[in-house]
Structure 1
Amino acid sequence: MSTVFLVSGASSGVGRALAQFLTRHGVSVVGLDRREPPDREIAHVPCDLADPGSIDAAVDRLDGQVDALANVAGVPGTAPVETVLAVNFLGMRHLTESLVGRIRRGGSVVNVSSSEGRHWVAHLAELRPLLATRTFAEGMRWCREQRPDRSVYDVSKEAVLAYTTASSTLTWGDGVRMNAVAPGTVRTPSLPEVERSTDPRRLARQRSAAGRDAEASEIASVVAFLMSNESRWVNGQTLVADGGVAAATTWAALQSR
């Protein structure tokens, strides 16, 4: 039986680097993306995470069971507010919950968030109404009527981490792990848009602490580890892959007390 991994956002950036990494290691990869990946060895199923109908159609096209799902697709904060929430959280959740019952026992779900989502615990009271929505449509209604007066990009990435933590307790009983990766700044085609939507002082501090931006392949290998059987006893965790920025920030704060 061949190993089949699903990767959303496989046509570019971290998603493409992940798909390439997996295929080099003998894994059959199906990319879920609006655009077809330029790599012929990656199978393609059209999927627009901003459209639940497109997600449902993509799921219907997939045959049988799979071994793992990596939710890598995302949009930067310069995109329209509703698109940011739809793609980065609601579409990811809809896709995951449509597929999780088809992931083989021992399989894995990995959700790629961002280091900008690391403060989700402090904002949990604010996030609860969004997390409590049951459908894509309800989530969009929350976005239009009740969203916080701050960056929806940050909200979407915080929601991913909160969702991962909560859902991992539910999927574990069926033998499926769920974890998250929170990268810092990554050198991808969307980096100029990320720079436009990020406080330049915060970005400068991050780059100073890490020394450089991450390569897409460096994040891809972390995601691949959490998808693999080598991480079979890791569940409900967020692996921060930011070159030590969070550690430096935490230590500086502790030193100032």
Structure 2
Amino acid sequence: MTDALPSPDYSRLFRLDDRTVVVVGAGGGIGREAAQALAAQGAHVVAADRASEQAAATTELIRERGGSAEAFEIDVLDDGAVEDAAERFGDAAALVFTAATNVRKRMEDYSLEEFDRVVNLNLRSSFQLIRTFGARFAANGGGSIVGFASIRAQVVEPGQGVYAATKAGLVQLAKTAAAEYGAQGVRVNVVAPGVVETPLTAQIKANDAWYDAYSQKAALGRWARPDELAGAVVYLASDASSFVTGSTLTVDGGWTAIDGRFTPPAS
């Protein structure tokens, strides 16, 4: 007869006490909210961002609420900087990265410079972050990597081709990394938001018809706030998701669950 398994302490399922979590893109938007949520669960947060002043502001917000944080300046387009960050924080428990950009143009109007700019930030830098931190986490016994994809990895519209391709590519990178690093205890997942009120969507918010159309598309009938993505990050960074890897956690208010915008009559 085998011994019974120990009973889990569910009260600590989402706790991150005595763990370090690196949040790249913590200077604002979803990254800032995620950093605060992780700190609220006990994590020491490395608020990493290219904008050092914004990273410092996030750190201050966390400390004001009694949390533990430090600011760290990083340009994810600089391969050496990414490698240095992985060397310095390779013993962290988790990495979260949110940095992305978009150029909303139809494919025939895209310049190759614009193509390179979107692909380099959204996909190439993600590749570098995943593999450098993945290797460090694997050498140190495991960890969690959380990237940010988008519903555009699954559904598209005119003017979103390059952005959508990078997000679909990130989903596949995460799956591959999950397979390659899984035996060493490294989990790799992505969060796929719908439309969120961030600087990246300011162009849409400024157009009332466009903004309202997006609100009506979601089952919940509205846009997401950045803080509404924080729970997904905490879940994927914590032991609550200890058997979750290679997955996409969709947080889109039901956008991808609905077939079109028309509600047919009941009978």
Relative to the length of structure 2, the TM-score reads: 0.74
1:176 is matched with 186
2:166 is matched with 156
1:204 paired to 2:213:
yes
1:107 is matched with 143
**Which residues of 2 match residues 48-197 of structure 1 at below 5 A?**
48-60=75-87, 62-63=88-89, 65-78=91-104, 80-103=114-137, 104-118=140-154, 151-193=161-203
Contact 1:110 1:223 in 2 (8 A): yes
Contact 2:19 2:92 in 1 (8 A): yes
Instruction: State the structure with bigger RCO (CA 8 A, min sep 6), 1 or 2.
Output: 1
Q: Which moved more, 1:47-56 or 1:234-243?
A: 47-56
Structure 1 unmatched runs, 5+: 121-148, 253-257
Query: Could you report, residue by residue, the CA deviation over 1:37-77 in whole angstroms, capped at 9, with x for unpaired residues?
Result: 212243122211223233234334x2451101112111123
Distance, in Å, in 2 between the alignment partners of 1:49 and 1:195 is 28
* Alignment-mate amino acid for residue 35 of structure 1: A
Query: Could you report, residue by residue, the CA deviation over 1:207-237 in whole angstroms, capped at 9, with x for unpaired residues?
Result: 4334111111111211110111110011111
2:246 is matched with 236
Distance, in Å, in 2 between the alignment partners of 1:102 and 1:215 is 33
2:171 is paired with a residue of what secondary structure? helix
CA positional deviation for 1:186: 0.6
Query: Could you report, residue by residue, the CA deviation over 1:114-138 in whole angstroms, capped at 9, with x for unpaired residues?
Result: 1001259xxxxxxxxxxxxxxxxxx
Contact 2:38 2:45 in 1 (8 A): yes
Query: Could you report, residue by residue, the CA deviation over 1:167-212 in whole angstroms, capped at 9, with x for unpaired residues?
Result: 211111111111111000011232214668xx949x8256433411
CA positional deviation for 1:160: 0.5
1:19 is matched with 35
Distance, in Å, in 1 between the alignment partners of 2:151 and 2:94 is 23
* Alignment-mate amino acid for residue 154 of structure 2: R
2:24 is matched with 8
Contact 2:195 2:214 in 1 (8 A): no
CA positional deviation for 1:250: 8.3
CA positional deviation for 1:98: 1.1
Residues 106 and 64 of structure 1, relative CA distance in 2, 3 Å threshold: closer
Residues 251 and 208 of structure 1, relative CA distance in 2, 3 Å threshold: closer
Residues 107 and 59 of structure 1, relative CA distance in 2, 3 Å threshold: closer
Q: Which moved more, 1:161-170 or 1:35-44?
A: 35-44
Residues 63 and 114 of structure 1, relative CA distance in 2, 3 Å threshold: closer
* Alignment-mate amino acid for residue 80 of structure 1: E
* Alignment-mate amino acid for residue 213 of structure 2: A
Larger radius of gyration: 2
Structure 2 unmatched runs, 5+: 1-16, 64-68, 105-112, 263-267
Fraction of identical pairs, as percent: 29
Distance, in Å, in 2 between the alignment partners of 1:192 and 1:86 is 22
